Chain A
Amino acid sequence: MTTARKAPAWYRTVFNLDNGFRGLMTLAALCVLGIVGLIVSELMQRSSLAWHAFGLKFFVGSQWDPVSGSFGAVPFLYGTLVSSLIALVIAVPLAVAVAVFVTEMCPKPLRKPIAYSTELLAAIPSVIYGLWAMFVLVPLFRVYVEPWCMKYLGWSGLFEGPPFGIGMLTAGTVLAIMIIPIISSITREVLSVVPQHQREAALALGATRWEMIRVAVLSNARAGIVGAIILGLGRALGETIAVTMVIGNTPQLAKSLLAPGYTMASVIANEFAEAPDDLYRSALMEVGLALFLVTILVNILAGLMVWTVTRGNPARSHAQ
């Protein structure tokens, strides 16, 4: 754009409008940065009280006793981790199976319906998953699943104690259903990006369809699938409502997966609104800050892995 010297007044006005427009849009973009900055600063500010009171012991202590004023976050770290891992163990085989089935095996007319159905699971709000889990999964687990686990898998020491129905296993299961769509859809993306000539190379060697999938498709898409799994993990870590409704909300470290537990997100959801004193609230804020940092890191890691496979915005590669 050339700037004429001694431009007439009307030209200068137009020029300013352009700048103004650009400035306005930039402002909007900067607001995005500002919001994240505000999140970080709020979390850090409001958790500083607890940070100064407990220091790093906060993340090592396993006693959460608001009455006596001692706050240790380990039960929640444990609960978040274990429930998310259970979710991954259940969700990954299911999600990858659906993705492989849809992209490589299933007859063409079934592809879109199955894919969309899986996406539908993602549209269901968390509270409805929680409601369904409370009234459908919990009785099912209490009456059938957990006694079965205790009987046949009890030797592992992971399935002990009275079958309440609520607890880590149930929470992990409902989390699994919730993260299947995201793992599955990203996996589908990375599988479809594998070039056709790789599949043909395997088939020409005399591979059966499964062998072709194993040798030419899955191994090529490895990094992307791992990225999808980590993204699912990120989602599971931050999930609040559904988990809170079925995990039992007991801050304890139990070996049994059937025991009730507590996650970082759940303790905040349950106790923040009623926390009577500043230290209590600050401790919860600190839990929130930890949750924030962990989720961010996991999501960034996942994003990097998926990016290396699809080379850029996954949704954009779709639009082509």
Chain B
Amino acid sequence: MPSKFVQLRRQVTDRFFTGLAAGLSVVVIGALVAIFAYLVLRGAGSLNWAFFTQIQKPVGESGGGMANGIVGSIMILVIASCMGVPLGIGAGVYLAEFGRGRLGRLVRFTADVLNGVPSIVIGMVAWGLVVVQQKHFSAFAGGVALAIMMIPTVTRATEEMLLLVPQSVREAAFGLGIPQWRTTLSITLPSARAGILTGVMLAFARIAGETAPLLFTAFGNQFWNLSPGQPIAAMPLQIYTYALSPYDEWHRQAWAGALVLVLLIVGTTTLVRFVFLRRMLGGAR
């Protein structure tokens, strides 16, 4: 019935598209490999003890490091987590345990909206809310900006993990006469603990690499600073500044910093996804 030619055409088309899909997939993986390869190539050589312990040297001198950026990043992230994690978990608990009505829907929707707000806009808003009031840049302002960015991820993870806890567990507790608040704190949350922790870690990894929100909040600092009320260096900021500078020496530092940052972030994310989520969801992913 259908001609030999038609059958051949169909076979060829099938092979062609299969090959195309495979080829384009190779291109995508290739991009990933290219990025990592360059990071290692350009950055590995500059990783030394000085990198982790010294701050940048003046222009013209070689050596130095990103120690202040590392410490600064840690400080900003801790400040951000102190605000973002409790708020996120609290909102997640609300949504999972009490949020079936209209307010719940609104909060869920708003959290999704917040997730999509460009990070530079959040930086501007944090500037307006904190920097303007304090009249100077600060690590705290950076923490506020990053906390805002953490919240949607933590909220969603908390809600999802709590919803995975079967209702029968809660009912068993209520049947024993344990009040709602006690049930949530002592029974429901602990059973969802692992999942919530992974959500927090994923959020943490995401904000650790953010630069834009820090541009007008933490602002960056050439020197050591351990005070949260002052402008402070952060790794992504330093990488950004060094990359844009005209000095080769600083470019070298930028690559080294980039390698460290990527290893930390990608390492955390992969670890979390592979180890924790797989174990928890029974290999569903």
Contacts and interface: CB of A to CB of B under 8 A. Distances in A.
Q: What DSSP secondary structure best describes chain B's contact surface?
A: helix
Interface stretch (A57-65, A150-158, A195-203, A208-216): A208-216
Size band of the A side of the interface?
35 or more
B260 to A, nearest CB: 11
Interface in A202-239: 208-211, 213, 234, 237-239
A35 B120 contact: no
A212 B166 CA distance: 39
Interface residues of B, number: 98
Given A32-B155, A36-B114, A265-B118, A130 B240 contact: yes
Contacts of A210: 13-14, 16-18
Contact of B205 (A119, A123, A134): A123
B243 A131 contact: yes
B129 A123 contact: no
Given A28-B94, A240-B212, A268 B120 contact: yes
B233 to A, nearest CB: 14
Interface stretch (B53-61, B74-82, B179-187): B179-187
B211 A21 contact: no
Contacts of B89: 28
30 contacts: A18-B179, A20-B181, A29-B91, A45-B128, A46-B128, A97-B20, A114-B29, A120-B32, A120-B270, A121-B31, A121-B32, A121-B35, A123-B270, A126-B209, A128-B258, A132-B258, A136-B34, A180-B28, A180-B31, A208-B11, A210-B14, A211-B10, A238-B120, A239-B118, A269-B215, A272-B124, A284-B124, A288-B120, A288-B121, A292-B121
Which 6 pairs, one residue from A and one from B, show the smallest C-beta to C-beta distance? Answer: A125-B209, A28-B90, A238-B118, A21-B181, A97-B24, A299-B116
Interface of B: 10-11, 13-14, 16-18, 20-22, 24-25, 27-29, 31-32, 34-35, 38-39, 42, 86-91, 93-95, 97-99, 103-104, 106-107, 110-114, 116-122, 124-125, 127-129, 148, 151-152, 155-156, 160, 163-164, 179-181, 184-185, 205-206, 208-212, 215-216, 219, 236, 239-240, 243-244, 251, 254-255, 258, 261-262, 265-266, 269-270, 273-274, 281, 284-285
